[in-house]
Amino acid sequence: MKGMPSSVRYFEEVAAEWDTLRKGYFRDEVREKALDLAKVQAGERAADVGAGTGFLTEALLGRGLEVVAVDRSPAMLAELTRKFGGRSGFRCMPGETDALPLEASTVDCCFANMVLHHVESPEAMIRELFRILKPGGRAVLTDFERHGFDFFLSEYYDRWPGFSPAEVASLFRAAGFATVEAGPLGEVCQAESSTGIRAVVPIFFVRAER
Ligand SMILES: C[S@@+](CC[C@H](N)C(=O)[O-])C[C@H]1O[C@@H](n2cnc3c(N)ncnc32)[C@H](O)[C@@H]1O
C-alpha cells in the first residue's frame, strides 16, 4: 500500500470493519430518508456512488431496485461482492467519482452518501451524476455540514471540512439539474478524536432532478 494517497489507504484498511464503524458514525435512518427523498420504485435502476460496503446498496436491493455500486477501493469492492455477490439485480464496479464507469442516461436514480467530502473535485462528481441519470432521473446526495473539527481531516483523511447545503445545491444547478432542493436531513454524524474530542455534525441532503 506504499505510495497510495492516505485516503485510499485508509479505506483499504477499514473496509472489513466499515459496517461496525459506520454504525457509530450515523444511523440507518440516513439511508431510509435518502431513498424516500428519491421516491425510489421497485424495478428502477440505481447507482450507489462511493458505495463502500453497501450501506445504501443493501436498502436499495431491499426495496426491489437493480443496483450498480461503484467504488475506487478494491477492499470495499471485495466486501460488496462478499455481501451481495449472489443477489439478483446487484453489480459492482471499480470506478472514480469523476469518471463513473456507467453509460450516459442509464440510471433512474443515483445516491452518494458521505462521499463528497472525500473527493478531489465535487464539481466533477456532480457532473457525472447528471451524465449517468436518465432525463427526469433523481440524485440524492447526503453529507455533513461544514464543521471545524480538524481531526476529521487528519485522522479520517477527509478532503473537505463538510459543505454548506447551499453551495452544494449551486453545484447541482451548475451541472444542469432542473430541480434542486437542499436542507437538513434531521440526522447527525458523530465521531471522537484520538484525543477525546467529540464531534456531532448535522447531515444535509441535496435532492435534484435531471
Ligand atoms: C465514508 S465512505 C462511505 C461509504 C458508503 N457510501 C456509506 O455510506 O457507508 C466513502 C467511500 O467513498 C469511496 N471513495 C472516496 N473517494 C472516491 C473516488 N474519488 N472515487 C470513487 N470512490 C471514492 C471510498 O473508497 C469509500 O468507500
- Atom in ligand 1 nearest the alpha carbon of residue 30: 8
Q: Say how far apart CA 70 and CA 56 lie, in whole Å.
A: 12
pLDDT digits (tens, 9 = 90+) for 82-129: 999 999 999 999 999 999 999 999 999 999 999 999 999 999 999 999
Q: Say how far apart CA 105 and CA 133 lie, in whole Å.
A: 5
The secondary structure element, H or E, covering residue 75 is: helix 74-84
In contact, 145 and 169? CB cutoff 8 Å: no
In contact, 54 and 22? CB cutoff 8 Å: no
Q: Where along the chain do its domains lie?
A: 6-209
- Atom in ligand 1 nearest the alpha carbon of residue 31: 8
Q: Measured from the CB, is residue 140 less than 6 Å from ligand 1?
A: no
Instruction: Choose one of 20, 30, 72 to mutate for the ligand 1 pocket test, by most ligand atoms within 8 angstroms of C-beta.
Output: 72
Q: Say how far apart CA 190 and CA 208 lie, in whole Å.
A: 26
Dihedral in degrees, nearest 10, Cα atoms 139, 117, 131, 93: -100
Q: Say how far apart CA 145 and CA 177 lie, in whole Å.
A: 21
Q: Measured from the CB, is residue 76 less than 6 Å from ligand 1?
A: yes
- Classify domain 6-209 by CATH number: 3.40.50.150
pLDDT classification of 3: cutoffs 50, 70, 90: low
